[in-house]
Structure 1
Amino acid sequence: MMAEPTEIQSILGLDVSRDTVTLCDGRRHTVTVANEADALRAALQPYQGTTTLAVCEATGGYEDILLGVLLELAIPAHRADPAKVKAYIASFGKRAKNDPIDARWLSRYGRDRATTLPRWQPADPTQQKLELLVARRLDLVAMRVQEQNRLKAPRSRLIADNIRDHLAELERHIEALNAEIDTLVGESRDLALRAQQLRSVPGVGPVLAPLLLAVIPELGTLNRRQVASLAGVAPHPKDSGKANWHRSTTGGRRQIRPALFIAALAACRGNNGLATAYKALLKAAKPKRVALTAIMRKIITIANARVRDAVRHQNEIGQINA
């Protein structure tokens, strides 16, 4: 059983690269081992059964072997946001960087924030596959936009046929991914239920629904302010003394905001409550940009509430049947 935050006595900083992992247990001494399961298992075995918290950074997948070994040894772990760690180090005015130094900083970061750091948990395999498929689809759509722009360029006439062939190939791959995503969602009872609730929200179509499921798996467990902040549509104050600056929507998970904008445009053209709210905002002399942002925020908060209610109802039925 993993130790609770209050039980943590020591912090293990782990700097991960493609080939190696550097460990620091809070002292100046560090050790570097191969980023392989056997080597990591041998290096981490002494910490099994102790009140140790392991802290590493997200590295695009190179940390997966390490996290798997930590889970196997029942050592609690936190996968840190690299931007937060970087800001933490910068707050001390330090610039030196190499693997041992980074491992020591990760250990210190964990020591200072051990009681508030969320513990890493392995992702559900279906959810993980959905995230990969949706991310790949986003990549291909971005490539398609690039190629479409190149096709319009005045000097692209000599290579126009090549670009069109690539666009056709990209379209085939995108359609194949769409079919695979639909199949994956349909085969999962939980994902299918969530997708059904998302599709019931005006403006949310077959592209945005799986995107929300993949990028904000927390949907249904957050309050309206939290989900708006994650989607990047929460107005954040920017005040100081007597100055009250215009509140702007910043941050959030970058994949969501552009898709929500398209959803808001679609919803505002329909015959629904969101379109009525949009017209009311315009009638109140709100700029179109502000009104559309408000609709984006309504879409994500409604989606969150509907998923929450549907999951709660499903759980209640499950308890009754049990």
Structure 2
Amino acid sequence: MMAEPTEIQSILGLDVSRDTVTLCDGRRHTVTVANEADALRAALQPYRGTTTLAVCEATGGYEDILLGVLLELAIPAHRADPAKVKAYIASFGKRAKNDPIDARWLSRYGRDRATTLPRWQPADPTQQKLELLVARRLDLVAMRVQEQNRLKAPRSRLIADNIRDHLAELERHIEALNAEIDTLVGESRDLALRAQQLRSVPGVGPVLAPLLLAVIPELGTLNRRQVASLAGVAPHPKDSGKANWHRSTTGGRRQIRPALFIAALAACRGDNPLAVAYKALLKAAKPKRVALTAIMRKIITIANARVRDAVRHQNEIGKINA
């Protein structure tokens, strides 16, 4: 059983690289081991059953073996946002950097924030696969846009056939990913229910629905302000003293905002309540950009509410049947 935040008494900082992991248990002494399951298991065995919290950074997947071993040994872990750790270190005015130093900083970061750090939990395999498929689709779509731009360039006539061949290949791969994503969502009862609710929102189509499922798996568990902030469409204040600046929408998960913009355009051109709201905003002399942002925010908040209600209803039915 993993220790609760209030039970944590020591912090283990772990700096992860491709080949090695450097451990620091709060003292200046550090040890470096291979980033392999057997080596990590041996190094972490003494901490099994203790009130220790392990803190590492997200490294694009190199931390997966470490997190798996920590889960196996029942050692609670936190996978930290590298930007937050970097800002924490910068707040002390420190610049020195190597693996042992980073491990010590991670230990100190965990010590100062142990009670507020969320514990890492392994992702559902289906959800993890969906995230990888959607991320790959985004990559291929970006490549397609780049190739389309190259094809339009005046000096690309000599290689136009090569570019067209690559575009055709990209299209085949994107279509194959679309089919695989649809199959994956359809085979999962939970994902299928969520996708159905998302598709019922004006403007949300077959591309945006799986994107939302992959990038914001928390849909249905957040309030309207939280989900708007995650989507990057929440107006944040920027005031100081007597100065009151226009509120701007910043931050959020970068993949969502461009897709929500397309969804808002589609919704505003249809015959639905969002189109009516958009016209009302324009009639009230709101700039089109501001009105579209408001519709984007409505789309994500409606999607969040519908998923929440559907999941809650499904759970109630499950309890009755049980």
Deviations 1:265-299 (A, max 9, x none): 00000000000000000000000000000000000
Task: Give the Cα–Cα distance (whole angstroms) in 2 for the partners of residues 113 and 159 of structure 1.
Answer: 56
TM-score of the pair, normalised by structure 1:
1.00
Q: CA deviation at 1:140?
A: 0.1
Task: Give the Cα–Cα distance (whole angstroms) in 1 for the partners of residues 186 and 9 of structure 2.
Answer: 45
Task: Give the Cα–Cα distance (whole angstroms) in 2 for the partners of residues 310 and 51 of structure 1.
Answer: 39
Task: Give the Cα–Cα distance (whole angstroms) in 2 for the partners of residues 232 and 296 of structure 1.
Answer: 10
Task: Give the Cα–Cα distance (whole angstroms) in 1 for the partners of residues 81 and 152 of structure 2.
Answer: 39
Task: Give the Cα–Cα distance (whole angstroms) in 1 for the partners of residues 294 and 48 of structure 2.
Answer: 50
Q: CA deviation at 1:23?
A: 0.2
Q: CA deviation at 1:144?
A: 0.1
Deviations 1:202-240 (A, max 9, x none): 000000000000000000000000000000000000000
Task: Give the Cα–Cα distance (whole angstroms) in 2 for the partners of residues 159 and 84 of structure 1.
Answer: 45
Q: CA deviation at 1:192?
A: 0.1
SS in 2 for 1:32: strand
SS in 2 for 1:49: coil
Aligned residue in 1 for 2:259: 259
Deviations 1:133-177 (A, max 9, x none): 000000000000000000000000000000000000000000000
Task: Give the Cα–Cα distance (whole angstroms) in 2 for the partners of residues 203 and 237 of structure 1.
Answer: 28
Matched, 1:295 2:300: no
Deviations 1:43-101 (A, max 9, x none): 00000000000000000000000000000000000000000000000000000000000
Aligned residue in 2 for 1:123: 123
The number of aligned residues is: 322
SS in 1 for 2:75: coil
Task: Give the Cα–Cα distance (whole angstroms) in 2 for the partners of residues 265 and 90 of structure 1.
Answer: 41
Task: Give the Cα–Cα distance (whole angstroms) in 2 for the partners of residues 307 and 169 of structure 1.
Answer: 36
Q: CA deviation at 1:305?
A: 0.0
Q: CA deviation at 1:182?
A: 0.0
Task: Give the Cα–Cα distance (whole angstroms) in 2 for the partners of residues 87 and 294 of structure 1.
Answer: 32
Aligned residue in 2 for 1:179: 179
Task: Give the Cα–Cα distance (whole angstroms) in 2 for the partners of residues 275 and 254 of structure 1.
Answer: 25
SS in 2 for 1:22: strand
Task: Give the Cα–Cα distance (whole angstroms) in 1 for the partners of residues 175 and 98 of structure 2.
Answer: 44
Which consecutive unaligned segments of at least 5 residues does structure 2 have? Answer: none
Q: CA deviation at 1:18?
A: 0.2
SS in 1 for 2:28: coil
Task: Give the Cα–Cα distance (whole angstroms) in 1 for the partners of residues 229 and 79 of structure 2.
Answer: 21
Q: CA deviation at 1:19?
A: 0.2
Taking every aligned residue pair, what percent have the same amino acid on both sides?
98
Q: CA deviation at 1:313?
A: 0.0
Deviations 1:169-195 (A, max 9, x none): 000000000000000000000000000
SS in 1 for 2:118: coil
Task: Give the Cα–Cα distance (whole angstroms) in 1 for the partners of residues 201 and 83 of structure 2.
Answer: 34
Task: Give the Cα–Cα distance (whole angstroms) in 1 for the partners of residues 88 and 277 of structure 2.
Answer: 42
Task: Give the Cα–Cα distance (whole angstroms) in 2 for the partners of residues 150 and 104 of structure 1.
Answer: 47
SS in 2 for 1:33: strand
Task: Give the Cα–Cα distance (whole angstroms) in 1 for the partners of residues 277 and 83 of structure 2.
Answer: 37
* Matches for 1:60-75 after TM superposition, within 5 Å: 60-75=60-75
SS in 2 for 1:246: coil
Q: CA deviation at 1:248?
A: 0.3
Task: Give the Cα–Cα distance (whole angstroms) in 2 for the partners of residues 239 and 66 of structure 1.
Answer: 43
Task: Give the Cα–Cα distance (whole angstroms) in 1 for the partners of residues 129 and 42 of structure 2.
Answer: 30
SS in 1 for 2:79: strand
SS in 2 for 1:191: helix
Which consecutive unaligned segments of at least 5 residues does structure 1 have? Answer: none
Task: Give the Cα–Cα distance (whole angstroms) in 2 for the partners of residues 184 and 268 of structure 1.
Answer: 30
Q: CA deviation at 1:126?
A: 0.1
SS in 1 for 2:204: coil
